[in-house]
């Protein structure tokens, strides 16, 4: 028997399953008093109101510059909780593994899940492992769910943007999407573009402490990119948002790759960036605080809520023109020439 | 970024807009310039350049997106290819969503066909070399810009002795349809913003007949906003002076004689042929067919293709959009039944299509 590979038996619920859990997964992921093997984790949450989210991760390739599917799964769920203003506490982990997957890679993935959880200050408290026959999954899929508590304050919502509010992005856009695409397609780039995959709850804590109720909306612009997320906010809040193209932070390498492939960085995915809509009086001070945080050092005010009503997004182009910004339709596909 | 940032400079662009305004200040009529390159169309929308033009200057979009001008009959052949067991269709990404008569490559992939996105025709050659049990068909769509690389892939496949690499060719060439548009009495095109990438291959001299025989000013223009505005100003200056010449704005990349090496490869592998253009119909001598010597790499000759009977979608006015007779907003399907999520016509499919650009940036 090849000990290096995951076999169907590892998902059978029998001896092999138990050995995989006790030898590899539980030591990597948990190792805390909460890691008993009962049917459910029993959690202490001191809050009258909790946030609860789930997401599935099917990224290809599973390892990319700046992260892997494991760190992505933890950070993604932590960020979903942080974006409503909740303090992320507990995360679950469901692994769907294709028969024949490398045990070494599985170990690397769960280890980075643990590291990401520790960095974010959350605990992985429950999980599930299934092994499916070869060809029935693309190497490994991960589902994570998360619970967060509202220690102080009210939940944030995309519907809170008001006339005059400023829109802030926490750093350069499109890094994750281009890093993954370059790794997937084997594009040889002069500089390696790193994914921005990171947990944003630390940054959010500081933002909430600084701006309080002046912070109206937080969203992480993942799939669909900044354009789609801002359009969603505009629609949810029934406002028109005007973006300033010249103010949008884009890494020159990302801009170059986008230019070659005919992609718009405004529509490329991010995994460690957030968009904030904030009352105008608090905007500059919040921006300064964000720039002092390692995950917010390239923060910029990129636009404002121009008018109430409608649900439109417009862009003042860098050269002085105006165009509209819509949601991503389908997926961005590289062009012919 | 060098060769990019300096052409996106706000002061420069605003200065060019003011220069253009002065140029046409005393001009009584309207001048209509057509861009025949999808990347120009995108640039014009993306930077909101129409808003910077004086009232006398109008820009319309022509048949410059290779995906858009590819007729349903070609898509139906590509779909027939991917339905043959053991055949892999390799293509640039933007062909995936283009609807054929009753399906698309994306739909076929969802049903189980082996359709793969590649970034270069040489990737498709590599795919064939590493999978000798498969037949790899590369979709050869594009203008003179992409055609040399596809010709190069056929030469590479021959050199490697590959018997399982094929090209389904539908290449088109540019100055010929421009002449057709210039002679269309329904269109009042004052001049052409000539394509940039295509011109790096064919050179500025290729447009001389348009300027000479059809009295249409031609300016080969780069893609950055300052390039486009300067190109428009050069065209406007010719119109105001009553002249028609070929000028090169994009002199950092385009030479009068083009790229002789790329043209030689083109001539070696391809021969001129009549070609069907979506919306424009059959235009004699406007396509490139694989030469007889390379017949063994021609998917149409080597594979048993049985495409369905093609028809263009009802009510679709892509043809009129591609000729610049109407804007996307004039088409009754635009935003209604035809959207980027569910495109009816090809102008909405390609990221460089006029309707997709208008939908994304112009509403």
Query: What is the arithmetic mean of pLDDT over A6-27?
Result: 89
pTM over 0.90: no
Of A199, A219, A213, A209, the residue nearest A157 (C-alpha): A219
Per-residue confidence (pLDDT) for residue B340, from 0 to 100: 84
- For an interface test with B, the pick among A317, A324, A325, A326 (most B C-beta atoms closer than 10 Å) comes out as A317
H/E stretch holding B172: strand B165-172
DSSP characters over A257-285 = HHHHHT--GGGS--SS--EEEE-HHHHHH
ipTM exceeding the 0.85 mark: no
Specify the pLDDT at position B88.
Answer: 98
Nearest CB to B46: which of A252, A323, A336?
Answer: A323
Task: Show which of residues 299-328 on chain A sit within 8 Å of chain B, judged by CB atoms.
Answer: 315, 317-326
- What is the pLDDT, as a whole number, of residue B360? 82
Rounded mean pLDDT, B32-58: 92
**Whole-number pLDDT of residue A32:** 59
A29-38, A126-135, A250-259, A260-269: least confident range: A29-38
Mean of the per-residue pLDDT values for chain A?
92
CB contact under 8 A, A317 and B46: yes
Q: Select the highest-mean-pLDDT range: A22-26, A269-273, B253-257.
A: A269-273
Residue A218 reports pLDDT greater than 90: yes
On average, the pLDDT of chain B sits at 92
The alpha carbon torsion through B113, B116, B121, B124 (nearest 10 deg) reads: -70
Whether omega for the bond prior to residue A61 falls within 30 degrees of 0, making it cis, is yes
d(CA B24, CA B190) in angstroms, rounded, equals: 14
Q: Write out pLDDT tens, residues B88-145.
A: 999 998 888 888 999 999 999 999 999 999 988 999 999 999 999 999 999 999 999 9
User: For A146-155, A187-196, A220-229, A262-271, which range has the lowest pLDDT when averaged over its residues?
Assistant: A187-196
For position B63, what pLDDT does the model report? 85
Whether the per-residue pLDDT at A105 is higher than 70: the answer is yes
Question: Cβ B97–A330 below 8 Å, yes or no?
Answer: yes
CA distance A129 to A94: 6
Output the pLDDT for position A35: 56
Mean pLDDT of A166-181: 96
Q: Give the integer Cα–Cα distance in Å for B117 and B40.
A: 24
Q: Mark yes or no for CB contact B96/A333 under 8 Å.
A: yes
Of all residues in chain A, the percent with pLDDT exceeding 70 is 95
Mutation for testing the B interface, residue in A324, A333, A334 having most B CBs under 10 Å: A333
pLDDT at A261: 80
**pLDDT score at B98:** 85
B191 has a chain A CB within 8 A of its CB: no
pLDDT tens by residue, B75-90: 999 999 999 999 999 9
* Residue A220 pLDDT exceeds 90: yes
Q: Quote the minimal CA–CA distance from A312 to chain B in Å.
A: 10
**B324, B187 Cβ separation under 8 angstroms:** yes
| pLDDT for residue B171 | 96
């Amino acid at each position: 028997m090849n000990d290096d590979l995951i076999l169907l038996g590892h998902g059978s619920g029998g001896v092999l399953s138990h050995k995989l859990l006790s030898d590899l997964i539980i030591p990597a992921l948990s190792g805390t008093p909460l890691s008993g093997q009962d049917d459910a984790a029993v959690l202490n949450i001191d809050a009258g109101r909790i946030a609860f989210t789930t997401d599935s991760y099917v990224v290809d390739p599973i390892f990319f510059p700046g992260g892997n599917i494991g760190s992505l799964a933890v950070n993604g769920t932590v960020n979903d909780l942080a974006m409503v203003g909740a303090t992320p506490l507990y995360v679950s982990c469901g692994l769907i593994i294709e028969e024949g997957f490398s045990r070494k890679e599985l170990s690397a993935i769960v280890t980075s899940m643990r590291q990401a959880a520790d960095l974010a200050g959350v605990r992985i408290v429950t999980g599930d492992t299934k092994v499916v026959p070869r060809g029935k999954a693309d190497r490994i899929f991960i589902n994570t769910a998360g619970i967060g508590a509202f220690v102080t304050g009210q939940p944030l919502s995309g519907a809170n943007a008001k006339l005059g509010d400023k829109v802030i992005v926490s750093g350069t856009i499109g890094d994750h999407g281009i890093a993954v695409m370059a790794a997937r397609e084997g594009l040889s780039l002069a500089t390696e573009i790193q994914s921005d995959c990171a947990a944003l709850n630390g940054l959010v804590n500081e933002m909430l402490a600084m701006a309080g109720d002046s912070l109206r909306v937080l969203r992480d612009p993942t799939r669909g990119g900044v354009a789609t997320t801002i359009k969603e906010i505009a629609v949810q809040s029934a406002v028109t948002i005007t973006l300033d193209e010249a103010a949008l932070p884009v890494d020159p390498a990302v801009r170059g790759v986008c230019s070659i492939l005919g992609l718009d960085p405004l529509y490329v995915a991010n995994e460690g960036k957030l968009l904030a809509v904030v009352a105008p009086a608090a905007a500059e001070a919040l921006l300064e605080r964000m720039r002092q945080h390692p995950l917010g050092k390239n923060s910029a005010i990129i636009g404002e809520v121009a008018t109430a009503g409608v649900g439109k997004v417009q862009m003042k182009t860098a050269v002085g023109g105006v165009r509209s910004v819509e949601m991503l339709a389908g997926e961005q596909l590289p062009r012919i020439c | 970024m060098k060769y990019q940032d300096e052409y996106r400079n706000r002061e420069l662009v605003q200065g060019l807009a003011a220069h253009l305004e002065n140029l046409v200040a005393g001009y009584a009529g309207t001048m209509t310039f057509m861009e025949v390159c999808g990347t120009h169309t995108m640039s014009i929308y993306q930077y909101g350049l129409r808003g910077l033009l004086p009232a006398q200057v109008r820009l319309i979009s022509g048949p410059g997106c290779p995906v858009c001008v590819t007729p349903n009959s070609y898509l139906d052949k590509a779909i027939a290819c991917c339905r043959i067991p053991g055949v892999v269709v390799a293509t640039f990404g933007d062909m995936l969503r283009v609807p054929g008569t009753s399906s698309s490559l994306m739909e076929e992939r969802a049903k189980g066909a082996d359709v793969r996105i590649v970034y270069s025709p040489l990737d498709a050659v590599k795919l064939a070399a590493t999978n000798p049990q498969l037949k790899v068909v590369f979709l050869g769509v594009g203008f003179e810009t992409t055609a040399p690389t596809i010709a190069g892939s056929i030469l590479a496949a021959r050199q490697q002795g590959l018997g399982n690499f094929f090209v389904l060719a539908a290449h088109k060439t540019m100055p010929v349809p421009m002449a057709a548009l210039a002679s269309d009495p329904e269109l009042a095109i004052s001049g052409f913003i000539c394509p940039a990438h295509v011109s790096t291959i064919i050179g500025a001299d290729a447009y001389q007949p348009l300027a000479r025989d059809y009295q249409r000013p031609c300016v080969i223009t780069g893609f950055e906003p300052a390039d486009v505005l300067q190109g428009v100003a050069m065209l406007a200056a010719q119109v105001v002076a009553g002249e028609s010449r070929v000028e090169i704005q994009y002199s950092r990349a385009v030479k009068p004689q083009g790229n002789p090496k790329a043209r030689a490869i083109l001539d070696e592998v391809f021969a001129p042929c009549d070609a069907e253009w979506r919306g424009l119909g059959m235009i004699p001598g406007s396509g490139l067919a694989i030469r007889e010597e390379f017949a063994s790499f021609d998917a149409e000759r080597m594979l048993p293709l049985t495409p369905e009977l093609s028809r263009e979608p009802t009510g679709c006015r892509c043809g009129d959009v591609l000729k610049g007779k109407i804007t996307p907003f004039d088409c009754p399907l635009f935003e209604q039944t035809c959207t980027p999520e569910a495109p009816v016509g090809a102008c909405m499919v390609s990221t460089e299509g006029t309707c997709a650009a208008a939908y994304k940036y112009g509403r």
